[in-house]
Chain A
Amino acid sequence: MELSSILPIARQELTVAIRNKWTVIFAFVFGSLVLAISYFGTMTAGDIGFQGFNRTTASLLSLVLYLIPLVALMMGTQSFLRNEGEDEMLFSQPVSRSEVLAGKLLGLFAAMTTATFVGFGLGGIVIATQTDAEGFLGYPVFVLLSLILALVFLSLSMLAAVASQRRTKAFGIALLLWFFFVILYDLLVLGGSLLLKERSANYFIFASLFGNPVDMVRVAGLLSMKGGEVFGAAGAALLKFLGGFGQAIAALVAGLIVWTVLPILASFRLLRDQDI
Chain B
Amino acid sequence: MIEVEGLTKTFREFSAVAGVSFTVRQGETFALLGPNGSGKSTILKSIAGLIKPSSGGISIGGIDALKRPQEARKLLSYLPQRVGFHDCLTAQEVLKFYCRLRKLPPSRIEDVVHGSEFNFNGFSEKRVSELSGGMKQKLGLAVACLADAPILLLDEPTVSLDPAGAIAFRKFLNSLKEKGKTIVFTSHVLADVEMLADRVAVLVDGKLTALVTIEELRLRIADKRQSLEEIYLDYAKTS
Write the residues of chain A forming the contact surface with B, with a CB cutoff of 8 angstroms. 4-5, 7-9, 11-12, 15-16, 19-20, 83-89, 91-96, 273-276
Of the A-B pairs whose beta carbons lie under 8 Å apart in the complex, a sample of 5, sorted by A's number, is A5-B101, A85-B83, A89-B140, A94-B70, A95-B70
Given contacts A8-B97, A12-B97, A276-B51, contact A92 B73 (CB under 8 A): yes
Interface flags, B22-42, vs A, CB<8A=1, else 0: 000000000000000000000
Q: Is the CB of A275 within 8 A of B51?
A: yes
Q: Is the CB of B50 within 8 A of A88?
A: yes
Starting from the known contacts A5-B101, A92-B48, A275-B51, 12 additional A-B residue pairs (CB-CB under 8 Å) come to A9-B101, A12-B86, A15-B89, A16-B89, A88-B48, A88-B78, A92-B73, A92-B153, A93-B73, A93-B98, A93-B102, A94-B71
Q: Which residues of B contact A95 (CB under 8 A)?
A: 70, 101
CB distance from A271 to the nearest CB of B (A): 11
Number of B residues with CB within 8 Å of any CB on chain A:
32
CB distance from A251 to the nearest CB of B (A): 38
Asked if B138 lies at the interface with its beta carbon under 8 angstroms from chain A, I say no
Q: Which residues of B contact A91 (CB under 8 A)?
A: 49-50
Nearest 3 Cβ contacts at the A-B interface:
A85-B84, A86-B84, A19-B88
CB within 8 Å: A-B pair count? 82
Q: Which residues of A contact B52 (CB under 8 A)?
A: 273-275
Q: Which residues of B contact A19 (CB under 8 A)?
A: 88-89
From A4, A7, A8, A89, contact of B80 by CB (8 A): A89
Secondary structure of the A side of the interface?
Answer: helix
CB distance from A14 to the nearest CB of B (A): 12
Q: Which residues of A contact B49 (CB under 8 A)?
A: 91-92
Provide the bound-state CA to CA distance between A114 and B161, in Å.
41
Provide the bound-state CA to CA distance between A11 and B51, in Å.
27
CB distance from A229 to the nearest CB of B (A): 50
Asked if B85 lies at the interface with its beta carbon under 8 angstroms from chain A, I say yes
Q: Which residue of A lies closest to B136 (CB)?
A: A85
Q: Is the CB of A4 within 8 A of B86?
A: no
Q: Is the CB of B51 within 8 A of A89?
A: no
From A7, A20, A273, A275, contact of B50 by CB (8 A): A275
Q: Is the CB of B82 within 8 A of A85?
A: yes
Provide the bound-state CA to CA distance between A169 and B174, in Å.
45
